[in-house]
Amino acid sequence: MKPLAPASPEGPRLSAELCPRVLPHGWVEVDQLGIAGMYVNRVQRLAMMFSVEREADGKRWMHVSVSHTQRIPTWEEMRSVQDWAIGRDKLAIQVMPPDYAYVNDHPRTLHLWHCLDGDPTPDFRHHGTI
């Protein structure tokens, strides 16, 4: 396993520039953590953290983590957060790491990643659908 890269000094600036400003009904920003925006929807019992960092591949990656108070977020909840935090027309990636790289800091949290420096994935639609 590769060692973790140190946080980039541009991360807090990028996070502040790119964090969502227009929030859907029910969502409020509760804290600006310096490297991430924190948002909650008390009605849906969801929380979302937003950050941007330059990762070890040299690319700038947007990271969105979504948690629920009693269960993991649903597909619909994740899709909704993708729409307003990342963008409906942008690729969001959910990573399923191998066991040796798996870290679980919170049992009811899921993560989305978006590369700001182009699409890093191949076009998987060669069979017609994904």
- 48: how many CB neighbours lie within 10 A of its CB? 25
Q: In this structure, is residue 127 part of a structural domain?
A: no
Q: In this structure, is residue 130 part of a structural domain?
A: no
- Cα separation, 8 vs 118, whole angstroms: 19
Residue 103 confidence (pLDDT): 86
User: Over the stretch 101-124, which tens digit does the pLDDT of each residue have?
Assistant: 888 888 899 999 999 999 888 887
Closest CA to 15 of 85, 83, 62: 62
Q: In this structure, is residue 123 part of a structural domain?
A: no
- Cα separation, 8 vs 22, whole angstroms: 26
User: Over the stretch 50-86, which tens digit does the pLDDT of each residue have?
Assistant: 989 999 999 999 999 999 999 999 999 999 999 999 9
Domain range for 36: 15-118
Beta bridge pairs of residue 114: 62
Residue 118 backbone class (left: φ over 0; alpha: ψ -120 to 50; beta: rest): left
Q: What is the CATH number of the domain that holds 88?
A: 2.60.40
